[in-house]
Structure 1
């Protein structure tokens, strides 16, 4: 694993206690970064961070519920008080409702948007301004090809619509920041996690690889793109 640009030191990963998020924490830790493993459930977050710490990685857990603006702000305030500057933000927390459109109720739709879109909106609002001020940073939004508008109607309905909106947020934030801050989206593929299921074709390590690659981009790396297997894909 190539090491990060020298100015990139600390990464915060939402939904970091399992699946792709946990593996991204592991890969970034192995690349030499200090990792803030953010999880909605503090006990699960601590347990996951402890496992990585025992592997010799520098990982701390933080409670963060991306659906709660006050929780996001409180986490940002605790890190600022501790002198921790977040150089990499990985928006990984997500939910995967599978209902078809005509089976979809408003609560499920709202929940999908709240986690998959508004969660990233809240964390970007909390952490990206300091990246801009410091003149460095990486934002990686874990999206899905199921939200792509090209050759695909976003599906399943609530999930696809929310991921299409997350892709739009990626473009908006990337256009709002100066060049040293890189903002990209990634489709990790169909991955063997609790969300993807045991029959999915892609390992967690493979699914996390492009997320980690985007988190560690060099200063001349791309921004405002959508990637799978380290290659740009259509929106």
Structure 2
């Protein structure tokens, strides 16, 4: 039995992953953006090992989430599931960052740095990450005209690069990235081709399975199969530059 934190677990793939793991007998720590959102999963929460609350758009609340998780205890695995797909404008987090960057990139980076190191890390990406190369020139969208599709692609490349960087930096941790496919969730829409069970299967397998095929690190997965990610995500120089920039933007250093 493993204890697994899943960010963004009140809906969609996060909730499906939580349900799957609970049904399999694992302990799950849920995450909700707000107390109101937490109230919508009272039934699921009653079966969970805990629920942490905080808006990943805010650095202060993200740090509070890390504190809440650490108070519960060490996680065996963390599934970084939470994310946003499209925002009409750059927006602004409480710290002044682009909204998509804050939620999809800065928050998982901060949680990774601040939560007691688990045995496994799983980052949800997207096949669209292959259109996100070249982001370091203007990571926070302060110079370019806003392009939500491009911003999303960049953020999903960032988490693949982060997963691979951690595989190098923390060799005792299994760190992988997953493309769950275009799934039938509130974000994906009812016409998406991938059912929600298929969409959640790879990340839960990587989080808890003792299958030798799952006990690996530094790989990119799609529907239980390894795939080749964008070349920039696999480049150690890009990974190092990205982590340095994320440390500057957040004021949080990634432990060695």
Give the TM-score band, short-chain normalised: 0.7 to 0.9
Specify every segment of 5 or more residues in structure 2 that has no aligned partner in the other structure, as ranges. Answer: 133-147, 230-256
Give the alignment of 1:56-95 within 5 angstroms: 57-82=47-72, 84-95=73-84
Question: SS at 2:121's partner residue?
Answer: strand
Superposition RMSD on alpha carbons, in Å?
2.5
* CA shift in 2, pair 1:191/1:219, >3 Å: closer
Matched pairs, number? 210
**Displacement, 1:156?**
2.4
Map residues 187-202 of structure 1 onto 2, 5 A cutoff. 187-202=179-194
Aligned counterpart, 2:109: 121
> TM-score w.r.t. structure 1 length?
0.80
Residue equivalent to 1:224: 218
Give the Å deviation of 1:164: 1.0
Matched, 1:233 2:222: no
- Given the alignment of the two structures, is residue 130 of structure 1 paired with residue 99 of structure 2, yes or no? no
Does the 8 A contact of 1:66 with 1:123 survive in 2?
Answer: no
Task: Provide structure 1 residue ranges, at least 5 long, that are not aligned to the other structure.
Answer: 132-136
| Distance of 2:54 and 2:131 partners within structure 1 | 31
Equivalent residue runs for 1:77-226 within 5 Å: 77-82=67-72, 84-97=73-86, 105=90, 110-127=98-115, 129-131=116-118, 137-148=119-130, 156-179=149-172, 181-218=173-210, 220=212, 221-226=215-220
Counterparts of 2:170 and 2:110, CA distance in 1? 16
Cα distance in structure 1, aligned partners of 2:28 and 2:49: 5
Quote the offset at 1:76 in angstroms.
2.9
Q: Which runs of 4+ in 1 moved over 6 A?
A: none
Shifted more, 209-218 versus 67-76: the winner is 67-76
Aligned to 2:239: none
Between stretches 28-37 and 88-97, larger displacement belongs to 28-37
Query: How far 1:65 sits from its partner (Å)?
Result: 2.2
Provide the rounded CA distance (Å) in 1 between the counterparts of 2:184 and 2:39.
23
CA contact (8 A) 1:187 1:228 kept: yes
Deviations 1:59-105 (A, max 9, x none): 432103223333233233334334x2211111111011177xxxx65
Distance 1:53 1:105 in 2: 33
Deviation, 1:21, is 0.4
Distance 1:234 1:148 in 2: 10
